[in-house]
Structure 1
């Protein structure tokens, strides 16, 4: 802070000095101690005897009156001046003119301009590194890669958890960078490029840094978007400059994040290719072919969209190896939590294994956010340690959204929401192969008036037909409960999200996953068509007869599970009433209370319930129909063209 203040003071002092020099040079000295006298007046005063002495320096004449007052004038070249002075008894003295070299005269005259130029260069260097330096006005073609020396990279493999297979894949890169002759003596060549593929937040960048940290080599990092500029050829120039820098610091690692920004397939998409991007990609292909394995340069790139990359970029000789960095399993999540818990003071009751089980589908970034939210909860409450309760609150906030206790709900709407959520919970509890019910709440969170949360006992990588049908049944549980209790005319829009998800799930079962006996194990593909301004629509590339059969099968699957849910809730009407009353009283009930109700016992109080947990409305606002329910039992995205097991964690509603 003090250094910045001192720097600013020096800068403004230099500016003031320059302005004063320029003003004095061009404006002249306006404050003279001597009186300026015209030459004609000077001659008249000499002849009148008013001047006692003068000093002549070239054309400049400085003199003194009889009364001691000084004056200055200039000789225009009068040859009779000396005669007039001597005739009128004026004392005359003189000095030889000061001789200055031509270079010194030029320097003195140009000094203010040189000072201005120096000051301009100083400001340019302060803002961007000079004319041709990094970030300067002439640095368009310079690489924007940021280099971290071997001492600056503090990350190692101990900081990377939950990606054991990926670490094994890249371990030999570290070995090669440490001792390349071990492989070269046997004729082996290390991969020139390694492409890391995986969902966002899984630790691809962290793993690349860990490789550099373990090998103790320089680490160049850049984003794919940093290459491409408005001017054609700039990106290619930056690629050349980056590889030249890397060769000067070899052995080293070049890490390109989000390489799909520059490595997309050429000539694909609307409107053809982009000249600048394609030239940049071409230069990258040439550079990766231009260096040999013995140079010790390894290019590591990361992307979560490998399907859009150009095939020439993925061939052997460029990116020889692809490393998949996927979402961690329950054991991996536990290890990641332990890594992030080193940074916060955790209490003895914190169980990382239990938290890991309750966070299926979380990435490393999600788990880091979970630990941070728990620490914020502890700080907000004034606690010195982060407890298991703080982690539970943080998990509920991430999975279900922030509680909106200030929102006012009428008693009738609150009761309808309680029956709706109780219907979801009872169906989820009774149908086979459904994830256990973890928590039910009628406290508004985010856009939802209430939430029913299911928590799997273990990670699932595939889904059976029975499990998917149970999911369908539980989705309709809320709407059916409203219809049974309040009548068909009182059914609300709260089930709109449930209906949408159930329809997508049923269509995927019939069209993608081959779970229909009539249509068989065939893929009936849906094509997405892009329109003007990015609008899109989906069309089914099947015959009209097959389309009718698909619609009939989707209807049959939904009707069967709808009727099953209706039958279950009718048979357990008493439990539906008890669970709704418990929700009206406690607002949130946990798994143990749900189990007590379903086994015919008194539900009791939630384990962490206090009287202060009841909602305390503070305004008269009322949520409209836009607050549709967004329950969190959707553990997979049925709209994705992939297996449901590949989806993220339940926070996606």
Structure 2
């Protein structure tokens, strides 16, 4: 036997925590005490049999004062009134049939009227209870009634409270919202004016339906709100509930799906039945893609529980027996996987797109969330809105909350601009992590980031300038060169994509200029550049292959697509694609090398400034390129006097990547 097996056998058992039992402690003690009492009643301790005496012997003992108590009860068995007497003597002076001493005795003959009078004179009769058939029956049934009642309250009520009853398993879990508790109105929603206008028609119709019915208008039966996560779809639904003076039911798409077949469809029917009883009303289904995914994808047949739930939803929204007055509002961030029958007019008549807010919308959102935060006078929400492109409403709310927490930890009474800048850098690029690096690693990192900064500043056309350069580890990168657009980017040109690839390649080139070697610090840059180049060739048609899309085979079967997969390009075309991607990357690599060679003096000065200050602003990089030195003062970055953060993952290779779409949040150029 091995040592591991011996250790397993000698290992002590884990102790059970006091709160780890499935039943309550009080219930356990009640069951234990009840079991003990039941055993005692069913198996009473056997006492000696009483002695049998006649009337004369009882009278003699009574005259001698040796009877402690006596009891006479009437027994009407057989239609006659029998008087049966029993009692106890003062001392165990009697012997029963087994020869054992005892104090208990019973009468062997019937007590007559004359003997009853004699016993009354001795004053040993304590009571004369009249036992009838009804009282005898009650004495026999009462213990069973008590036991059944105990079992009912201990078990049946527990099961009902836990499972809410077997009959209510298929009932709808939609919650009816109260109108006064935590009421949210359209004034609390910002950054989506067009969406508020569209859903505002529903509220206006519910308040004054005759206005639309006079000209033959019909309110949409369903409104589908589509948008990225965090853009305010659920918040807008809460605002509709606050504005509309009608019943509002809220439910999640996952509440319909259960492991038991038919439960989801039953809940859908029950939900619409509740809606018809409270019509006109609004029903909000959050994350409807959990139940409304495309049917017939090959994963599960017609008996699939999710498909039955979807079929029931389709029929209830616009089937043969449809009633007016129930308006469905649903939200999802995956409209591409929804079933086409669910999106047709008559079910979801209108799709409201809630996109990421623009610069005006971001400022409005910041003003809404800044109502509850004490802001300093130097905080300009318009400046924050310009510096946070691509952030959703939820991320902007998180930005102000992080700034408030940071100011509180620094013992400030108000949130100033420095707290918001630190919170923005933390959300976008991660928190600073002070790591110990030797001079050689620090030098290579400084030239790496200086290469990104020089090429990025030279190629900048005023759209995406350099924001900050640092060699302090942040997030998963050892250093970063960050860029913040001056406006919302809705699309990029081929030149802008090539400039991004050129900037990504500059870090490795600058590092090689100084050390004469290359390292794995540029792995994130290489992945980012390769991804952009392949997207240009395969999706955007920005190569010599022409405007041809060759990325159609990237869909996932589990999102409701076909099981079979066909190859859209030949092997020869695939080789040409690889050659075009290689040509783009090598060309921009050569271009970045030429730029850095022509600005070698500026490269050295930016790297020296990073080694001295660790963090410099984008304006400092521009001043070095134009004037050869830094003109503006450099604010020294001191380690924050805060509790140490959790240790992050080892940062040898960076995994941060910039957004490759037409629009997105700014991302660092990692080391």
2:368 aligned residue: 339
- The answer to whether 1:237 aligns with 2:263 is no
Shift of 1:529: 7.5
Deviation sequence 1:231-283 (CA, Å, 0-9, x none): 11000001011111122222221111111111111111445566100000000
Query: For 1:506-521, what aligned pairs fall within 5 Å after superposition?
Result: 506-516=533-543, 518-521=544-547
Shift of 1:20: 6.7
Q: Is the 8 A contact 1:233 1:279 kept in 2?
A: yes
1:456 aligned residue: 485
1:169 aligned residue: 198
Shift of 1:539: 8.8
In 2 relative to 1, CA 426–107 (structure 1 residues): closer, same or farther, beyond 3 Å?
same
2:455 aligned residue: 427
Q: Secondary structure at the match of 1:564?
A: helix
2:73 to 57, 74, 79: 57
In 2 relative to 1, CA 116–617 (structure 1 residues): closer, same or farther, beyond 3 Å?
closer
- The answer to whether 1:528 aligns with 2:554 is yes
In 2 relative to 1, CA 77–454 (structure 1 residues): closer, same or farther, beyond 3 Å?
farther
Q: Is the 8 A contact 2:620 2:632 kept in 1?
A: yes
Q: Is the 8 A contact 2:228 2:356 kept in 1?
A: yes
In 2 relative to 1, CA 397–266 (structure 1 residues): closer, same or farther, beyond 3 Å?
same
In 2 relative to 1, CA 72–40 (structure 1 residues): closer, same or farther, beyond 3 Å?
closer
1:115 to 135, 144, 150: 150
In 2 relative to 1, CA 615–148 (structure 1 residues): closer, same or farther, beyond 3 Å?
closer
TM-score by length of 1: 0.85
Q: Secondary structure at the match of 2:415?
A: coil
| Cα distance in 2 for residues equivalent to 1:540 and 1:210 | 48
Shift of 1:12: 8.6
Query: For 1:563-642, what aligned pairs fall within 5 Å after superposition?
Result: 563-603=590-630, 607-609=634-636, 627-630=652-655, 634=658, 636-637=659-660
Deviation sequence 1:134-188 (CA, Å, 0-9, x none): xxx4432011112102233601111111001111111100101112222233322
- The answer to whether 1:548 aligns with 2:581 is no
Deviation sequence 1:5-41 (CA, Å, 0-9, x none): xxxxxx9989978987886677359999xx9774326
In 2 relative to 1, CA 103–15 (structure 1 residues): closer, same or farther, beyond 3 Å?
farther
Q: Is the 8 A contact 1:151 1:216 kept in 2?
A: no
TM-score by length of 2: 0.82
| Cα distance in 1 for residues equivalent to 2:242 and 2:495 | 48
In 2 relative to 1, CA 595–358 (structure 1 residues): closer, same or farther, beyond 3 Å?
same
Q: Is the 8 A contact 1:56 1:92 kept in 2?
A: no
Shift of 1:124: 4.2
Query: How much is the aligned-residue C-alpha RMSD, in angstroms?
Result: 3.9
Deviation sequence 1:442-468 (CA, Å, 0-9, x none): 111222110110110000111011111
Look at both structures and tell me which one has the larger radius of gyration over its CA atoms: 2
Shift of 1:538: 10
Q: Is the 8 A contact 1:441 1:451 kept in 2?
A: yes
Q: Secondary structure at the match of 1:439?
A: strand
Q: Is the 8 A contact 2:614 2:637 kept in 1?
A: no
1:414 aligned residue: 442
Q: Secondary structure at the match of 1:54?
A: strand
Q: Is the 8 A contact 1:62 1:72 kept in 2?
A: no
Return 5+ residue gaps in structure 2 as ranges.
1-23, 76-83, 95-101
Shift of 1:358: 0.9
2:51 aligned residue: 40
2:17 aligned residue: none
Shift of 1:45: 6.8
- The answer to whether 1:320 aligns with 2:349 is yes
